[in-house]
Amino acid sequence: MSYIVAFVSFPESNMEYPVECFRADIYVGEQVIIRRGDGILRVGTINHAKFLNWDCKARIECKLQESSVDSGGNFILPKTSPVVKGITTTNSFRKELEINGWIPLKPKQRMYKSIMAYANTKYIGYIFCRKNGVDIQILPKQTNEVIQPYTPYEHSLSEGRVVRHSLAHTTFNLYEGVLRFSTSFSDNDENLDCFFKPQGDSDKRTKKLRQENEKKIKSSSSDLLDIYSVCSSGDGELAYLGDGIWVSPNGDFHDIGR
């Protein structure tokens, strides 16, 4: 799973392929070393990149100029590969929060990979990392309240001020945006409205994929309408297909009696 997905092309094909990317310093036209799903290393060219948070079979190991070639023509990759540059993963994001003084807590819900907390002069802020998003919560600080590392989070997201962000389809690096929130919150900034506007989309499909799915649905619906016209008596009632399954005049299935 990678927040950034790069779309690359290979010399022998006009098609482009999505690959996992863990770095923020890639540019259109750059050549990169890609490890395919079968483990083979290939040189590809960056066409564009998007914030999608997809689980791709292939990934970028490094830029072409960061690699070398041995006497047998095999690529030699950097010692740490794939190369991670910038705040592009949950781990790098969490580490940056810790550097900035945010304290890790113990999640009580499986949906959260980590929870970070910080107490300023008036409030306690929480940052929640989940598989497909980052959530923020602000609660009033109780008198002499102290955050203890790795203690359980005891509140609910129905309390205080809350926003839920999705990683997919953000127009900027959400991790960097939430880091800006963490700095503003630590500095006791009262004007945090810009950080409480939900970002991203829970639907991770691209526009192209959505259009293709719509075409399939329409095609499937058309086929069922044809089936209905054959099986029905023409009175507008449900038509029986068999095995307890009926189809309506608009092409919907009905499982009656089960």
Residue 110 confidence (pLDDT): 84
Residue 257 confidence (pLDDT): 43
Residue 21 confidence (pLDDT): 97
Whether the pTM exceeds 0.85: the reply is: no
The C-alpha angle 205, 210, 211, rounded to 5 degrees, equals 150
pLDDT lower than 50: segments of the chain: 256-258
- The pair of structure tokens assigned to 139 is 């609660």
- The pair of structure tokens assigned to 81 is 């590969």
Q: How far apart are CA 9 and CA 78, in angstroms?
A: 22
Q: Say which residues have a Cβ less than 8 Å from residue 87's Cβ, sequence separation at least 6.
A: 24, 93, 96, 173, 175, 176, 179
Q: How far apart are CA 167 and CA 103, in angstroms?
A: 22
Residue 123 confidence (pLDDT): 96
Residue 109 confidence (pLDDT): 79
Residue 43 confidence (pLDDT): 96
Residue-range domain boundaries for the chain: 2-76, 90-196, 207-255
Q: Which of 50, 51, 77 is nearest to 63 (CA)?
A: 77
Residue 241 confidence (pLDDT): 58
